[in-house]
Every structure is written in structure tokens, then in C-alpha cells.
Structure 1
């Protein structure tokens, strides 16, 4: 699998990034944090990474895209683009959950990782991982309040990573809390996308739909939030 070529597309938040990877190494990369630019930038980025690398979609082994939760517009553009590329080329489609992409950027930085995706107001979607990026609890909605994640933080260090990290930082304070306000990036899809390719965990191009941010259904609970 050392020569596997993957095209990685990350469009689940306001930023947009594209990576072409061969054998697990980045060979071309494009990024923009210009809001609402996915529709105008993604196709250009794909064209540029192919031109820079001298490769084409025909030489890719698969296309991977972020599946959310996240922005409706960003996910729609990313998934429709990935589907179009796969349909036209016959390449398989891989989908990587956005929290998993965020967790890859936090490996080794704390005992636990909480990926946070903004859902407006004091709301977010969160998922819990161990310090090596292994999923412990799947994504769920949460409303931030002063005791959010207290039990988890009392157990040890936790890094909160994603575009809702600063929002959480404004309401909780704990010596074991680390905050990293950031967007998910395509370069952090390399490991999970490669693993999915090896395991042949491919999506049905005709029926796959991303995880859009839907009507919020979380409530503040006195029980453990994770």
C-alpha cells in the first residue's frame, strides 16, 4: 500500500482544504479560510494539486471526503464534488467523520480528546477519543454550561479541539483543560482514509449523504455529558 494515491477533501467548516497524498505523504496541498468559498475554490484546488503533482484522478486509488457533522453548504459542495469524481472515474468513495479528523490533530497532546463542532449559540456536537485518537463515544449534541465535562476533566488532561473550543473556554475553567480553536484539515485525514482504504470501507456513491447540522435536540443534564 506504500504507493496508494488518495485525494482528500475537507469542507465541513468555513475553511476548505485539499490534499493529494501518495504512500501516506503529502505531495500537493491547498487551503483557504475564506468563508463561503467552497463552491468557487474546491474545484480550483483539485485542479491545482493534480497539476502540481503531475497526477490525475485516473491515477488515484480513492477519493476521501469529510462527512460531517458540519456546515450544510460546505458538506454539500464537498460530497457532491467527491461523488462526481468517483462516478466519472470509477474510483471508490471514502467518508471520514469530521470529529475523527479533528482528533488526528490532537493525538498525544492530552489523555483524552474531545472534538467540538460549532452548532451556533452555546451549542456544539462533540465526540470523545482517547489520547491516541481512538473513538470512545460517538458524536452527540451538547449545550455548554459551567459544569460541562467536569467529571472527565477531574480524571485527567483533556484537549478540546475544533471550531467551538473557544466557546467552551468562555464558560468552563479547569487546570486539566486544553483548548485548541481550529478547523479540521485535509492533511489530518491521511491516517483514517488510508486505514479505510486498506479495509475497503467504501461508501455507496448513489446513496451516501453527509451528516448535516440539524435542529438541535440537546438539553442540559445533571448527569455526565460524556
Structure 2
């Protein structure tokens, strides 16, 4: 049946979906900060049960590989790897920002702008961003971490751009870029948007190594050192 299970955990939104030949069958989604570790397997089990399916029907698993939440990405990838190993099925990895761009294409089908600028919040005035052609999602600028100022993305001048995602809104008031418009409603990457992308990777047999694949964090994790307690 070419069923692909998709897992998206890069933001506070945790979602899983099943697609057949790229077409959405069903999605389960929750929004719970820090709830991915508790909920992702529960969502998968309930998604399969509610649609009369089991793991033997799944031909491959697709996972959002980043950028995004460090913890969320690790949980999503670990879950996907574990299932692929146990079921002996291939793993497909998709860039998070491309998933977000595909989501825009599916929702805003009549938009005339030519380039998409999806952004995910990376805290303070930093975002993860990439640029894609609207028509075919051809990559114009690869995913990167950007500290926003009034001149950010000046190198993309000359063609109209649409900025969206939960990182775009905090830049709207200071952006001086002449070719950028903004979508005010927040958009998040979701598993339901992964179907066509994952199916093309499946047809091309573009599968990932279960041992070596790591999330694409784009920047190093900056943790805090625990304070030494007085003896």
C-alpha cells in the first residue's frame, strides 16, 4: 500500500500522520510544551488503531530532521529510528523548513508570490530560515540560523518573498526588506505536510542510515553549567 508514517516534533506542536502514495489518510496532533516524549508514541498507536492499521502496513517512516527544538528533534528521530530498526523498514529524513514551505503551498494554493521564506523561532531575535521557489520548492538559500536586523536577507532582493512561520512575526516591525510580505497567523511544520515530500524520497529510494543520521540543529546546543553546591 506504500503507507508512510510521518513524525514531526521540531516545535511545541507534536504531530504524526499516515499517507498513502503521498495522500493524507489521517493526522494526530497535540500542542504541549515538553510533551513530545510522553505523547509521540501514544499518538502513533492511536493513529494506527483509529484507522484500522498496524505497523505491518507501514512501508517507511519519515521524520523531520531539523532545524528546531533540540529536545524535540532528538525525540522524533529516536522514535523513528527505533521503529525502523524493529520493523526493518527504511527511514526518510526531511528538512523542517521545507516541510513548513510545503505546508504553505498546500494551504495557500492561490498565492502569486514567487519565493517562500519559512522561519522558525530560535529565541531572542534569532530564527532558522531557508528560501524556496514557490512553484517546485527548489532551494534558493539553504537552511541557516540568522540573527535578525533591518537588513537581513538583503541578498534575496529582486524577487517577491513571503515570510511566515512562528519566527517571522517578531521581525515584521523592523524589517526594511523591500520585497518581503508577511503572513500574520503563525504557521508550524506538521506531519500532514510531509506526505508528498516523503513519497518522492521513497520512490527515489533516498533512505537514511539508522546509525549515523543525526538531527540538523544548525547551531550548537548552549546549555547552562550546574552550580556547585557548597559542602
Is the TM-score greater than 0.5? yes
Instruction: Give the CA deviation at 1:206.
Output: 1.3
Tell me the TM-score normalized by structure 2. Answer: 0.86
Tell me the TM-score normalized by structure 1. Answer: 0.88
For the residues of structure 2 that align with 1:149 and 1:208, how far apart are their CA atoms? 30
Q: Is the 8 A contact 2:22 2:198 kept in 1?
A: no
For the residues of structure 2 that align with 1:57 and 1:169, how far apart are their CA atoms? 44
Q: Which of 176, 182, 185 is the aligned partner of 1:178? A: 182
| 1:102 matches 2:100 | yes
- Name stretches of at least 5 consecutive residues in structure 1 with no aligned partner: 217-226
Large movers: runs of 4+ above 6 Å: none
Instruction: Give the CA deviation at 1:41.
Output: 1.0
- Return closer, same or farther for 1:175/1:206 CA change in 2, 3 Å cut-off: closer
Q: Which of 161, 165, 178 is the aligned partner of 1:158? A: 161
Task: Name the SS of the counterpart of 1:195 in structure 2.
Answer: helix
Q: Is the 8 A contact 1:106 1:159 kept in 2?
A: no
Q: Which of 150, 156, 161 is the aligned partner of 1:146? A: 150
1:40-189 matches, within 5 Å, as: 40-107=38-105, 109=111, 110-132=113-135, 133-150=137-154, 152-153=156-157, 155-172=158-175, 174=178, 176-179=180-183, 181-189=186-194
70-79 vs 180-189, which deviates more? 180-189
For the residues of structure 2 that align with 1:117 and 1:41, how far apart are their CA atoms? 22
Instruction: Give the CA deviation at 1:150.
Output: 4.2
For the residues of structure 1 that align with 2:83 and 2:43, how far apart are their CA atoms? 14
Deviations 1:85-131 (A, max 9, x none): 00000010000010110110223532111121222111112111011
- Name stretches of at least 5 consecutive residues in structure 2 with no aligned partner: 222-231
Q: Is the 8 A contact 2:67 2:128 kept in 1?
A: yes
**2:206 aligns to what?**
201
How many residues matched? 213
